[in-house]
Amino acid sequence: MRQYTFGTGMLMALLVLGGCAGNRTKPAPQTPADKGPSKPFVTKSVVFFPDSAGDFELYQKYAYPDAPDGVQLTYTSKTLPSAKLDIFVFVLGRGPADDAVKQGDQRMRGEVQAATKAGVYEDLEFTDDTAFPLTTADGGSLPGRRLRMTLGEHGHKLVSAGYMFYKQLYLVEVRITAPVEAGDILTQVGDAAARTLVPAIHIQNEGGCQDLTVYWDSKDPNGLIAGLKKGMEQAELDGCVGAKEQQVQPKTGEDMMTIAYKPEDWH
């Protein structure tokens, strides 16, 4: 068994030449790896998101003081101006997408229940919790879930829906709430927001995740190339790109926010 570690730029060159690769380490904020890179798995993330898309326009953006809590994006809807529509982008780490979405869905449910117990909301009732996959720009599928509920706040009845997705090491949560009079329109607008805005959000990560540790069986003549392809696919899923491939400015119609991590944020 042989082992090498390459930066993603070197890996791209090797792929062109018919060269190398392998399985990367698997650190995450809540799960230390047995052998991590010499620098934190992620030192900086850049979140790109649309200024406007379809029915929705960006109203404000906010970065939480604690980097792992990520950023909050607030949009307005022309169809339902009374709705409060927020998108939370916060780090989870590497893991199977289905498991990540399930974990995020449970967290979302738990937060609403905790707020109700604390007296922020009353008369909470979850009406359904269903799969809600999205189609990505390249024709792929992004797993997700939708949690719908009714609740009260200061005596006012509300309808609400939450959507959870996982992409590029981050959970992306869409939350929409409006007066109960919105009825089924809230779900229609929430569905449209998830389908329109989430695929347009992408996260670019920098740090140790840009380095791939290579393992392959020297007796297998195809092992090196197969390992390289697998490693590059994982790097793309993680949103970890080399310096030459990095996007440094938002494109037309986009905005961006940077999340800078402390070394101790990643184990």
* Mean of pLDDT values over 227-251: 77
pTM of the model: 0.82
Q: Which residue is associated with the tokens 């780090």?
A: 91
* Mean of pLDDT values over 32-59: 82
Cα–Cα distance, 74 to 61 (Å, whole number): 6
Q: Contact, 208 vs 24, CB < 8 A?
A: no
Percent of the chain with pLDDT over 70: 83
Pick the more confident residue, 5 or 207.
Answer: 207
Q: How confident is the model at residue 210 (pLDDT cuts 50, 70, 90)?
A: confident
Q: Contact, 151 vs 116, CB < 8 A?
A: yes
Cβ-in-10-Å burial (0-12, 13-18, 19+) of 242 comes to middle
Cα–Cα distance, 51 to 57 (Å, whole number): 6
Residue 234 has pLDDT above 90, yes or no: no
Q: Give the CA diameter of the chain.
A: 71
Q: How confident is the model at residue 126 (pLDDT cuts 50, 70, 90)?
A: very high
Helical axes 223-238 vs 8-17, angle rounded to 10°: 140
Helix (H) or strand (E) holding 178: strand 170-179
Q: Measuring CA to CA, which residue among 225, 211, 201, 230 is closest to residue 23?
A: 230
Residue 101 has pLDDT above 90, yes or no: yes
Percent of the chain with pLDDT over 90: 63
Residue count of the chain, please give it: 267
Supply the pLDDT for residue 102.
Answer: 96
Q: Contact, 265 vs 67, CB < 8 A?
A: yes
Supply the pLDDT for residue 220.
Answer: 78
Supply the pLDDT for residue 31.
Answer: 35
Please say whether the dihedral angle defined by the alpha carbons of residues 223, 228, 233 and 235, taken in this order, is positive or negative. positive
Tens of pLDDT, residue by residue over 156-189, are 999 999 999 999 999 999 999 999 999 999 999 9
Supply the pLDDT for residue 38.
Answer: 67
Choose the weakest-confidence range: 68-72, 123-127, 227-231: 227-231
Cα–Cα distance, 81 to 119 (Å, whole number): 26
